């Protein structure tokens, strides 16, 4: 073996180790899907079946936020049945995560030179990154596109380089629309770093051309097909109080840094410390390209933090708005360690030993965090299968396909039931999304849903109805659940049929029950659990509704 080939072999072995660590952790989430992922899957399946990108056949409502991921997910539904399509989508998340690791490990340095990124091991050990590659959502695709966009922006600054960066930016925007501000922010960061060192004319024109044309064509198609300029999810989630969203967003960033739900994220704090150190050193450099390199990567990180704060954080998932920033942070951290080495504060051998020790500690804490996340996700998966999936399959077997069901959890239940759906949260319902109020707390939701006269309601309650005496008060969890239980028309026309337990009630923990109510004239066959069908009294004012 030649001396030149030995380092290359070691780098490949190290990258293989990172991949094996990532796969070993990812396998803990192999049966895990977020309920929200099934919203995109239903759109993708309807598109594959020739119904178009719709949630309910004949209703043009853009209840997904990720156009490109929806298109990607439609391919498995064209090729396979639903069960195999879900397996294929799951495998795609694994593959995308591995590609992100590979591309992060080969990210060029500030001067364009190729260098191995050994600290990519921190990314492979990150429980947040691994989990977000296994929940069925678009996060690993977005993370890969964000990494490649940064690579293109710090790379060739010709017209062709601008076209490449613009094409990647267009893909970013079509994956998640909040990436659009990068169209102005990225050239501004480059210009700030370069100063008067180099003109950006050709590169900037290429970027604008390649980014604006696809995004504009998609916007025109959206308006022609859906009749709006923004996804319905924007009207559902981002039209309430900005102060409420900002408070929730800052709390989410704080929880991310503190490692809520697991041990302290040492791997995250080590990466932050090294990344900041490297950037402080770089900003003193007279090399404009070095400044640009750092500014562009920090811009990508800042864009994710800013959106997480502005949007009030993700409603479902584990820091999935922040996860795409992790590959960029790890690249910055690796460069920061190189800066520390160049300062010669430590002898080379001592520096390498310190780096190895820090990596071992950080990876160990990452694995501990992964263990905690696996337990939580496994409980979630069992609950989803026990309640949402089982309910969806039960509805499909019992009710005709043209029946309407109104509910708040509009992921797995509509996907497996294949019934027409009224979304009480408003993600896939344009009317609910535009009612005044906050997301999930919009007055008028109950009246609107009852006016549609669905055959079924599925309400979220914290206590089991089946185990309670007739006439005993029951309340809902969401405001529309409670409003429906109190509504005279609902009490008159709907009867309790059956419930499915996502999480049983415990003395110190409220339960999570999906209670099925059927319009009195809607059922044509006796159902399992129908023997306990009865009306349910709403909470009486001034009296305690339940023991929760």
pLDDT at 350: 72
Confidence of residue 144 (pLDDT cuts 50, 70, 90): very high
pLDDT at 301: 97
In this structure, how many other beta carbons lie within 10 angstroms of the beta carbon of residue 213? 13
Among 124-138, 239-253, 332-346, name the one with the lowest average pLDDT.
Answer: 332-346
CA dihedral of residues 144, 148, 154, 159 (deg, nearest 10): -150
Query: Of 19, 194, 25, 202, nearest to 105 (Cα)?
Result: 19
- Beta-carbon contacts of 246 under 8 Å, excluding residues fewer than 6 positions away, are 309, 310, 312
Whole-number Å distance between alpha carbons of 127 and 29: 11
Residue 143 CA: distances (Å) to CA of 101, 283, 321, 519:
10, 26, 10, 45
Average confidence (pLDDT) over 116-130: 91
pLDDT in tens, 335-387: 988 877 766 666 667 766 777 788 888 888 888 888 889 999 999 999 999 99
pLDDT at 242: 84
Q: What is the largest CA-CA distance in the chain?
A: 84
pLDDT in tens, 76-86: 999 999 999 99
Average confidence (pLDDT) over 482-500: 90
Whole-number Å distance between alpha carbons of 56 and 76: 20
Which residues make beta-bridge pairs with 496? 517, 534
What does the mean pLDDT of the chain come to? Answer: 87
Q: What share of the chain is helix, strand, coil (3-state, %, to 5)?
A: 60, 5, 35
Residue-range domain boundaries for the chain: 5-343, 382-532
- Beta-carbon contacts of 441 under 8 Å, excluding residues fewer than 6 positions away, are 478, 479, 480
CA atoms within 13 A on the CB side of 483: 15
pLDDT at 526: 40
Average confidence (pLDDT) over 494-513: 88
pLDDT at 542: 33
The DSSP secondary-structure symbol of 474 reads -
Average confidence (pLDDT) over 515-541: 53
Sequence length of the chain is 548
The percent of residues in the chain predicted with pLDDT above 70, rounded, is: 89
Does the pLDDT value for residue 288 go beyond 80? yes
The percent of residues in the chain predicted with pLDDT above 90, rounded, is: 61
Distance from chain centroid for Cα 50: 27
Does the pLDDT value for residue 475 go beyond 90? no
Q: Is 294 in contact with 286 (CB distance < 8 Å)?
A: no
The DSSP secondary-structure symbol of 530 reads G
């Amino acid at each position: 073996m030649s001396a030149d080939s030995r380092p290359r072999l070691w780098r490949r072995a190290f990258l293989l180790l990172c991949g094996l660590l990532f796969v070993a952790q990812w396998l803990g989430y192999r049966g895990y899907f977020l309920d929200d992922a099934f919203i995109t899957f239903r759109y993708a399946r309807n598109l594959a079946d020739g119904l178009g990108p719709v949630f309910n056949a004949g209703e043009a409502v853009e209840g997904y936020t990720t156009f490109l991921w929806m298109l990607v997910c439609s391919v498995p539904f064209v090729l396979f049945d639903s069960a195999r399509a879900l397996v294929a989508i799951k495998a795609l998340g694994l593959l995308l995560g591995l590609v992100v690791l590979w591309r992060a490990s080969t990210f060029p340095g500030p001067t364009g030179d190729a260098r191995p990124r050994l600290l990519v091991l921190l990314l492979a050990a990150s429980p947040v990154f691994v989990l977000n590659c296994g929940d069925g959502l678009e996060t690993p695709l977005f993370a890969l596109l964000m990494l490649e966009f940064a690579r293109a922006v710090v790379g060739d600054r010709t017209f062709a380089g601008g076209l490449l960066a613009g094409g990647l930016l267009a893909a970013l925007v079509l994956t998640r629309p909040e990436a659009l501000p990068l169209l102005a922010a990225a050239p501004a960061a480059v210009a700030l770093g370069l100063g008067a060192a180099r003109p950006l004319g050709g590169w900037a024109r290429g970027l604008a051309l390649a980014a604006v044309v696809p995004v504009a064509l998609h916007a025109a198609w959206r308006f022609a097909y859906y009749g709006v300029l923004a996804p319905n999810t924007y009207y559902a989630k981002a039209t309430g109080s900005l102060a409420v969203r900002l408070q929730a967003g800052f709390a989410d960033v704080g929880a991310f840094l503190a490692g809520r739900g697991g041990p302290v994220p040492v791997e995250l704090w080590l990466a932050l410390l090294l990344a900041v150190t490297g950037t402080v050193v770089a900003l003193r450099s007279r090399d404009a390209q070095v400044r640009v390199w750092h500014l562009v990567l920090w811009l990508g990180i800042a864009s994710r933090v800013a959106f997480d704060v502005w949007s009030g954080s993700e409603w479902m998932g584990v820091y999935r708005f922040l996860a795409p920033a992790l590959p960029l942070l790890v690249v910055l951290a690796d460069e920061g360690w190189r800066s520390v080495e160049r300062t010669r504060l430590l002898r080379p051998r001592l520096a390498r030993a310190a780096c190895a020790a820090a990596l071992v500690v950080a990876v160990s804490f990452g694995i501990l965090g992964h263990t905690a996340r696996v337990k939580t996700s496994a409980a979630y998966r069992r609950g989803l299968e026990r309640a949402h999936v089982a309910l969806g399959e039960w509805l499909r077997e019992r009710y005709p396909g043209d029946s309407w069901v109104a509910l708040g959890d509009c992921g797995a239940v509509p996907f497996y039931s294949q019934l027409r759906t009224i979304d009480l949260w408003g993600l896939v319902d344009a009317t609910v999304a535009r009612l005044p109020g906050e997301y999930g707390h919009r007055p008028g939701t109950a009246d609107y849903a009852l006016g549609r006269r669905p055959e079924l309601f599925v309400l979220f309650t914290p206590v089991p109805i089946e185990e309670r005496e007739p006439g005993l008060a029951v309340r809902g969890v969401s405001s529309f659940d409670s409003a429906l239980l109190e509504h005279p028309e609902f009490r008159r026309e709907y009867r309790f049929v059956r419930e499915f337990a996502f999480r049983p009630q415990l003395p110190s923990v409220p339960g999570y029950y999906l209670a099925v109510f059927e319009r009195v004239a809607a059922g044509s066959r006796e159902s399992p659990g129908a023997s306990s069908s009865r009306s349910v009294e709403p909470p009486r004012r001034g009296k305690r509704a339940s023991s929760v």
